[in-house]
Structure 1
Amino acid sequence: MKVVLATRNQGKVRELEAMLAGIEGIKVLSFQDFPEMPDVAENGQTFEENAVKKAREVAEYTNLVAVADDSGLEVDYLNGAPGVYSARFAGENKNDTENNHKLLRLLHGLPMEQRKARFRCVIAIATPWGDIYTTEGNCEGFIGYEMAGDKGFGYDPLFYLPEYDKTFAQLDLEVKNRISHRARALEKAKSILLDLKERIEKETCGLG
């Protein structure tokens, strides 16, 4: 079964490919395999709305099973911001570094206990015949005082995990893929993908 990852973010592609690699019989494609695919406007008010919209539109365009995620950072002190606006927190066309610097300015001077945050991820799976499935995963942590590490992207250099005494960007990929919000959401999604794979194989063999 071919599965299209509905993202142009190569960091997410690498993470999702690594997590799906253990599922036998599933070939992972991305937007690089469909260069003419139009962008999907992420204008939903929740992670779930954005993920479902992306997965549905990509499944319709490619006629393949599509996996989309929408994820972001929620900071308690900021009442859940940046949330769905995580990628453009510092403004349209801003980059990860600018987003991180804005977050540091907003939390300047706060003690660690007031810097609690979480990464939240919703994964949506859409089929060409119109089925939609969703899963969710969270990872709790704190916002550090400075960026550290070069193994991640987005807010990873600021997202501090006390139990490891490291930021997400300092963790080995193997560890990150086990504990991250995206890993937890995808772990739940794997059984859905396996069920879809069996369903497609049966239909292809004329047994469905």
Structure 2
Amino acid sequence: MQLVFATNNLNKIKEVQALLPKHITLLSLKDIGCLEDIPETQNTIEGNSIQKATYIKKHYGYDCFADDTGLEVTILNGAPGVYSARYAGEQRNANDNMDKLLTELHTKTNRNAQFKTVITLQLNNKQQTFTGICEGDITKTKSGEQGFGYDPIFKPKGFQQTFAEMDLSLKNSIGHRGKAIEQLVHFLNS
């Protein structure tokens, strides 16, 4: 069985392939000749995930899944949320995004936040979504060299390290993306 993972991030593909049942082969967007930017114009994380998976199925005909992730900060009414990747501008720079968020939270005591990943599976002309959430807090400074995005300023509940200070296996076992992928794998195995 082949499934397209609507990404060109080879590290993500490798990571997810290792978690999937052996009889499923993952294909990237490049593998199916999808070189254009897939639209992400919805105003929710769920909406973008659904939009991406629907786009691949409609334009390329493959069974597939797509994910979208956002950081939701309580005191900022869920921002940056769906705009997490371009919070500080269209240049999509992780350091700029973190700096903007840290500046906005500078005087705030409530630093509660959560990462949310939604995966949408298009399989046999049916659609299924899976949601993974990891609660935590935004730190006051960046710490750690691992991971990407907001990982250096996100400390998951119950841990003293940021995501960027954790090894990948620990992050995956407690993190939002890992939880959503676990649900996807369970569904594919059942």
- Whether TM exceeds 0.5 here: the answer is yes
Aligned to 1:3: 3
Could you report, residue by residue, the CA deviation over 1:139-194 in whole angstroms, capped at 9, with x for unpaired residues? 00000111111220111111112522111111111111111111111111113323
Inter-partner Cα distance in structure 1 for 2:25 and 2:101: 38
Gap change, CA 1:56 and 1:162, over 3 Å in 2: closer
- CA displacement at 1:10 relative to structure 2: 4.7
Q: Is contact 2:66-2:121 (8 Å) kept? A: yes
**Which has the larger Rg?**
1
Inter-partner Cα distance in structure 1 for 2:186 and 2:46: 19
Aligned to 2:180: 185
Deviates more, 1:61-70 or 1:164-173: 61-70
**3-state SS of paired residue (1:146):** coil
Aligned to 1:151: 146
Matched to 2:143, the amino acid is: A
- Which of these residues, 117, 122, 126, is aligned with residue 121 of structure 1? 117
Q: Is contact 2:46-2:118 (8 Å) kept? A: yes
> TM-score normalized by structure 2?
0.91
- CA displacement at 1:130 relative to structure 2: 2.6
Q: Is contact 2:140-2:153 (8 Å) kept? A: yes
Q: Is contact 2:13-2:26 (8 Å) kept? A: no
Aligned to 2:67: 69
Counting aligned pairs with the same residue, the percent is 42
Which runs of no fewer than 5 residues in structure 2 stay unpaired? none
Could you report, residue by residue, the CA deviation over 1:69-97 in whole angstroms, capped at 9, with x for unpaired residues? 11100000101000000011001123111
> TM-score normalized by structure 1?
0.84
- Which of these residues, 38, 41, 49, is aligned with residue 39 of structure 2? 41
| Correspondence list, 1:1-208, <5 A | 1-10=1-10, 12-20=12-20, 23-111=21-109, 114-127=110-123, 129-195=124-190
Q: Is contact 1:11-1:153 (8 Å) kept? A: no
Inter-partner Cα distance in structure 2 for 1:176 and 1:190: 18
Q: Is contact 1:15-1:177 (8 Å) kept? A: no
Which runs of no fewer than 5 residues in structure 1 stay unpaired? 196-208
RMSD over aligned CA atoms reads 1.8
